[in-house]
Structure 1
Amino acid sequence: MINKDTKNNSWSAETPNDPIKICIATTPEEKREIYHFRYKIYVEEMSRHLDEVDYDNKLLYDEQDEWALLLYAKVGSELIATKRINIGTISDFPQKIIELLSLETFQGYSSVNDDNKFAFITKVMVTPAHRSSPVLYLLMVKCYEICCHNHVQFIFGISNFHLIPLYEQMGCRRYYKNFFYPGHGLAVPIVLLTDDIQHFRKVRSPIFRIARRRRSLNMKTIEWFNAVFSNQASIINSQLITEDELWNLLCKRLNGLPTESMAVLQDLSEPEAKKFLHSCGIFVQCDPDDMLTFQGDISYTYSILLSGRLKSLTFQRPLKEYLTPGQHFGANGLTEHNKHTEEIAATSSAEILALSGIAFQKFCRSHPDIAHKIVRNTTREARKKPGTR
């Protein structure tokens, strides 16, 4: 059960042990604890290389922290999660962010109000022990309410491929081209429309119950977004496509059954393969020159080429010489968290099926027998091909 403490401006959720409390950092001590928590997650756990790291003091912060709301979650005295939200007009954001998120396009959604406020959520992280808890939902609810209070229509964020299902299940949409984000690799911009009630219902978003209580909905914003970003018709939302629809789509791209071309599906029945691909797969479109893997980065997906051409920038050879649709490239981030050993880029428009390691952890709990076969297949494939491409 979720409760709100209006006096202390915090939220809590009852758990079997201690309640999770969501608060906004106001003191220098709270903020420093968040900066150190970020360092532990991004630098020590994920080995990410970021320009804004203070290695001497083990802190991670940047200029956006100066005007951001810093949310954090605690169980007792332990900080377990944090999220940053910047709310402002387009002039408040760095030009690079304006370009990557295409904020100028959104600025044009209303010719009446030139002071449209946008929200940008970043630095979202949860300690490993609580990644299956309701803490991310609590943070999202708090952010959503803050944005509604500030009359924000569009809440922006960025997502790596392996987290796309998580954010799409929250109600976010993909809408624009991929981009390189320092320290994160290839990422995709996402946006949540605060009045997108019907979409929240369709994807079974956990914030639907909160959003539907709103009285003044601006449906013109939804209509404007759907008209301007009509490319959404070609974006495969992981929460809206069915098992059979995804399977049929993959069959068309591969000119055959996925079980015949994907080594990871060996010995799986068709129903098992369908369930696994639908639970863990993300259909991603890439542009020429998109960097798909970065040497030394930890992989969180198992990537399979569906169409297009790739090349290795590390070994200076076109991957098309040996990589055909249905084959895996990059390090195994599905059943393990290996590091990429080469940098791979798209040389043409390409389609990728990214199998999420985060989603696979949940899949293991609900379908252990199928998951065991997947682990066996990835282990077998690694033995056949020494080293990770």
Structure 2
Amino acid sequence: MPDSQKWFRPRRSIHRRLSRCWASGVFRAMVTQNQTLPQVKIATTDAEREAIFRFRYRIYIQEMNVWLPHTDHRRQHVCDRHDESALLFYIEDQGEVVATLRRNMVDIDNCHPEWREAFALERFAKVAPNTLSVSGRFMVASRFRHSSMAARLAIAAYRHGREEGVRFDFLLSRFHQIEMYEHLGYRRYVNNYLDVNHAFGLMAPMVCVGEDVEHLRSVGSPFAREARRFANRASEGAWFSEQFPAPPEFAPARTLSPERRWSQMCRLLGGPPERAIRMLQGLSEADARALLKHALLHRVRAGKIIVQRGDLLGSLFIIASGAVALYYPGNFDRPPDVLSSGECFGAEGILASCCAVGQAVALSEVYLLVLPEAAVAQHRHKHPQVIHHLRANLLQEPCSRFLPTAILHS
């Protein structure tokens, strides 16, 4: 059977491995051991590709309500020029696509300019020509988002990449998904990138060094086990670390103890978070620790637009250090609201489940604590009184002036 038509059969031990490694992570395995697992496939026919494009439409347009170019509303599908040469991985359930991931091999001589800029591809091409790829359009149906499906899809793509000689795989991550990708083995390494073709705001370029087994093991990546099937050069990780030295604050979250993460926050904020962060005032240290458990530290350079009006948020942004200017509707002819350490923006996602109502611009180098909206939603079920208090504090934020009164008081 040709390589392009391979079906990836999950190993029997995958649920045990994922349950053990990811018991408290984003991809918590919740499928029973004896359940038959659907296979990961690569689309080889026009019908399969069309089904994937229609699945994207359901996720992006109908579920997330995102505006995207290259959307065909008549046919209800989403595809773009990158799909022409891409491998499309997917999983079906009862004849319906429920998960997909796109992978493009990179020809550096004919590379899309935005990829060349976003990922600093020239630096990689000097040592690894014809071994680079870019991943994207990674999505899973809502009913499977707490299963092992996303993990199995990513593992299959990693395995296929190694079989095809891929040494570096790149992607653009929304800030609240950075921790998820770090767990897979990707890492931040260059400055953020704003893709004008997406309503996702500033994105973090990330790369997986496929042969750096030591790093994969250190973050508990499921790729580490797969990597043992291939020859791995120890020099690969050393070269990357030398070329892109990571500051200590960007260590993958899973490599830091809770105490170290808390100390890091205290140092940047200049005091205990429950006192230094305005939206947490009135909460106990224990409540603040529990709420900030999944907050990720991320840096943004001066002058960068962090979010624009209409962007899908996905996160609450807490300023750990630096200053951010907020421009809201009708406010462009007068000075913006200027926020500093301990203040936040992006609260409209939590208060009203809506897109950004204003624009946030970094006035200086800014360190942000990125708190995923999903983490707040999960916390609501366990500690409703904490979220009620948090919501009351967030109603004092500037964005609340531009949200519907009915929503704010519901």
Asked if these proteins are the same fold (TM beyond 0.5), I'd say yes
Q: For residue 90 of structure 2, what is the aligned residue in structure 1?
A: 72
Deviation string for 1:217-268 (max 9, x for gaps)?
A: 1111111100010144452422222222222222122221110122443454
Question: How far is the alpha carbon of 1:292 from its aligned partner?
Answer: 1.5
1:177 match: secondary structure:
coil
1:210 to 218, 226, 246: 226
Assess, with a 3 A threshold, how the Cα gap between structure 1 residues 236 and 222 changes in structure 2: closer, same or farther: closer
Q: For residue 53 of structure 2, what is the aligned residue in structure 1?
A: 35
Q: For residue 28 of structure 2, what is the aligned residue in structure 1?
A: none
1:353 to 361, 369, 374: 369
1:9 match: secondary structure:
coil
Deviation string for 1:291-344 (max 9, x for gaps)?
A: 122212232111111111211344233332xx2311111234357633211111
Q: TM-score with structure 2 length normalisation?
A: 0.84
Deviation string for 1:134-155 (max 9, x for gaps)?
A: 1111111111111101111101
2:260 match: secondary structure:
helix
Q: For residue 324 of structure 1, what is the aligned residue in structure 2?
A: 340
Unpaired runs of at least 5, structure 1 = 1-5
Q: For residue 174 of structure 1, what is the aligned residue in structure 2?
A: 188
Question: How far is the alpha carbon of 1:377 from its aligned partner?
Answer: 2.4
Query: Could you tell me how far apart the structure 2 residues matched to 1:87 and 1:80 are?
Result: 24
Question: How far is the alpha carbon of 1:160 from its aligned partner?
Answer: 0.4
Query: Could you tell me how far apart the structure 1 residues matched to 2:378 and 2:233 are?
Result: 36
Q: For residue 108 of structure 1, what is the aligned residue in structure 2?
A: 126
Q: For residue 389 of structure 2, what is the aligned residue in structure 1?
A: 377
RMSD value over aligned CA atoms?
Answer: 2.4
1:226 match: secondary structure:
helix
Deviates more, 1:17-26 or 1:216-225: 17-26
1:223 match: secondary structure:
helix
Q: Is the 8 A contact 1:25 1:70 kept in 2?
A: yes
Q: For residue 51 of structure 1, what is the aligned residue in structure 2?
A: 69
Assess, with a 3 A threshold, how the Cα gap between structure 1 residues 11 and 268 changes in structure 2: closer, same or farther: farther
Assess, with a 3 A threshold, how the Cα gap between structure 1 residues 359 and 200 changes in structure 2: closer, same or farther: farther
Residue pairs, 1:57-136, within 5 angstroms: 57-109=75-127, 115-136=129-150
Alignment pair present for 1:259 and 2:274 = yes
Q: For residue 3 of structure 1, what is the aligned residue in structure 2?
A: none
Q: Is the 8 A contact 2:7 2:39 kept in 1?
A: no
Assess, with a 3 A threshold, how the Cα gap between structure 1 residues 19 and 360 changes in structure 2: closer, same or farther: farther
Deviation string for 1:30-72 (max 9, x for gaps)?
A: 1001111111111222222222111221111111111110011
1:80 match: secondary structure:
strand
Query: Could you tell me how far apart the structure 1 residues matched to 2:357 and 2:236 are?
Result: 44
Q: For residue 203 of structure 2, what is the aligned residue in structure 1?
A: 187
Unpaired runs of at least 5, structure 2 = 16-30, 404-410
Question: How far is the alpha carbon of 1:106 from its aligned partner?
Answer: 0.9
Deviation string for 1:1-26 (max 9, x for gaps)?
A: xxxxx996233578446523211111
Aligned-partner residue type, residue 46 of structure 1: M
Assess, with a 3 A threshold, how the Cα gap between structure 1 residues 77 and 107 changes in structure 2: closer, same or farther: same
Q: TM-score with structure 1 length normalisation?
A: 0.88
Alignment pair present for 1:139 and 2:157 = no
2:101 match: secondary structure:
strand
Residue pairs, 1:5-16, within 5 angstroms: 9-12=7-10, 15-16=31-32
Aligned-partner residue type, residue 137 of structure 1: A
Paired residue total: 372
Residue pairs, 1:159-170, within 5 angstroms: 159-170=173-184
